[in-house]
């Protein structure tokens, strides 16, 4: 490393779980305890630029990360940077270095819209580019997982799968597989969540009496969901998506203390969708570690859905998303 600094850039999309990863395998490495099937959200983006500066010794210059103008607690990134250093050494970069990363996301972060999936995938891709390392997407997926397991999926576009106990995600179908597939993101509250998904997962794993049945059930649900996706069966996929997120929240509500991410408007949207289904409109919701509601449907349902939601929950912000292409990355 003879230059003063090296720069890399990446643009990724959040990976929204259709069936949920919730719970980690005990021990090191951030391995998911449940399988997840997910889709990338094309219209939501996270653009990250990194500047890597050689340092005299490890830790001499602390790593710094800024997301939407706010500096982050670097402790959360420790495992990620340790692995980046190991990879760098095995790729012939044997001097210590420090990373400065600046991310700009066009959606609220830490609010339950999978920002950590897009954020860590973008960080990993931009660092790999800056350091000029020739890594496969599978290796980048493994690196991203150390920051956030869902980030292992964001490294790819389209529909992805991350198996339980697996180190990396894989692509099941690309963005062109189901051109009519749409995801509506209903923002009911843009505030930062009070408890991180990492903390909430650990609390459920340790204290929910339903945690073991959740692990068993999620294997079946994901297997069936993969099959429904293969058949492009929106009705079946939607029902399984709902079963998955409701099961995940059942473990949270039964944890001690209980974890409640929902807001009154979240429940309002859930009820509106229930009525719409009874009227025959194929639309199903999911939720993550936050109050926002995401809806799976086909393109033909979008205008009617938007009309009804704007009327019934007027104070929400709604974004219509298509399936994401693979992320972009380059050395700059
Ligand atoms: O990857 P994390 O630590 O941000 O956790 C993601 C958890 C969920 O969003 C609730 C589910 C998922 O599979 O993305």
Could you tell me the distance, in angstroms and rounded to a whole number, from the CA of residue 20 to the centre of ligand 1? 7
Report pLDDT for 292. Answer: 96
Write the pLDDT tens digit of every residue in 77-133: 888 999 999 999 999 998 889 999 999 999 989 888 888 999 999 999 999 999 999
Counting ligand 1 atoms within 8 A of each CB, the residue from 38, 67, 197 with the most, and so the one to mutate, is: 197
pLDDT at 1 over 70: no
Q: Which atom of ligand 1 is nearest to the CA of 288?
A: 10
Report pLDDT for 76. Answer: 82
Residue 82 to residues 135, 151, 175, 198, Cα–Cα distance (Å): 17, 17, 33, 19
The mean pLDDT of 10-33, rounded to a whole number, is 96
Write the pLDDT tens digit of every residue in 253-292: 999 999 999 999 999 999 999 999 999 999 999 999 999 9
Report pLDDT for 202. Answer: 96
Residue 222 to residues 168, 214, 216, 258, 289, Cα–Cα distance (Å): 17, 12, 11, 25, 19
17 lines ligand 1 (CB under 6 A): yes
CA atoms within 13 A on the CB side of 138: 3
Counting ligand 1 atoms within 8 A of each CB, the residue from 76, 149, 259 with the most, and so the one to mutate, is: 149
Stated as kind and residue range, the H or E segment containing 8 is: strand 6-12
Write the pLDDT tens digit of every residue in 127-184: 999 999 999 999 999 999 999 999 999 999 999 999 999 999 999 999 999 999 999 9
Instruction: Find out whether 241 and 296 touch, Cβ atoms under 8 Å.
Output: yes
The model carries a pTM of 0.96
Stated as kind and residue range, the H or E segment containing 7 is: strand 6-12
How far is residue 319's CA from residue 92's CA, in Å, rounded to a whole number? Answer: 44
């Amino acid at each position: 490393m003879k230059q003063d600094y090296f720069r890399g850039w990446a643009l990724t999309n959040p990976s929204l779980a259709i069936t949920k990863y919730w719970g980690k395998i005990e021990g090191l490495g951030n391995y998911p305890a449940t399988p997840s099937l997910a889709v990338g959200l094309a219209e939501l983006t996270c653009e990250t630029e990194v500047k890597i500066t050689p340092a005299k010794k490890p830790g001499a210059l602390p790593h710094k990360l800024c997301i939407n103008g706010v500096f982050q607690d670097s402790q959360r990134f420790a495992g990620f940077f340790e692995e980046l250093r190991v990879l760098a050494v095995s790729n012939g970069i044997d001097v210590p270095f420090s990373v400065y990363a600046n991310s700009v996301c066009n959606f609220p972060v830490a609010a339950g819209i999978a920002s950590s999936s897009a954020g860590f995938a973008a960080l990993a891709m931009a660092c790999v580019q800056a350091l000029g390392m020739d890594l496969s997407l599978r290796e980048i997926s493994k690196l991203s997982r150390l920051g956030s397991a869902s980030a292992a999926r964001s490294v790819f576009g389209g529909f992805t799968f991350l198996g339980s106990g697996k180190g990396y995600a894989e692509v099941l179908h690309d963005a062109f597989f189901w051109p009519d597939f749409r995801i509506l993101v209903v923002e009911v509250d843009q505030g930062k969540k009070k408890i991180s998904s990492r903390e909430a997962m650990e609390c459920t794993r340790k204290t929910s009496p339903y945690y073991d049945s959740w692990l068993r059930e999620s294997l079946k649900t994901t297997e069936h969901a993969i099959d429904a996706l293969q058949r492009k069966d929106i009705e079946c996929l939607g029902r399984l998506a709902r079963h998955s997120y409701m099961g995940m929240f059942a473990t949270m509500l039964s944890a001690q203390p209980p974890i409640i991410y929902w807001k009154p408007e979240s429940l309002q949207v859930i009820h509106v969708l229930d009525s719409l289904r009874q009227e025959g409109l194929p639309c199903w919701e999911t939720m993550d570690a936050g109050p926002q509601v995401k809806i799976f449907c086909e393109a033909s349902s979008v205008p009617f859905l938007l009309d009804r939601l704007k009327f019934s929950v007027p104070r929400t912000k709604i974004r219509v998303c298509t399936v994401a292409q693979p992320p972009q990355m380059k050395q700059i």
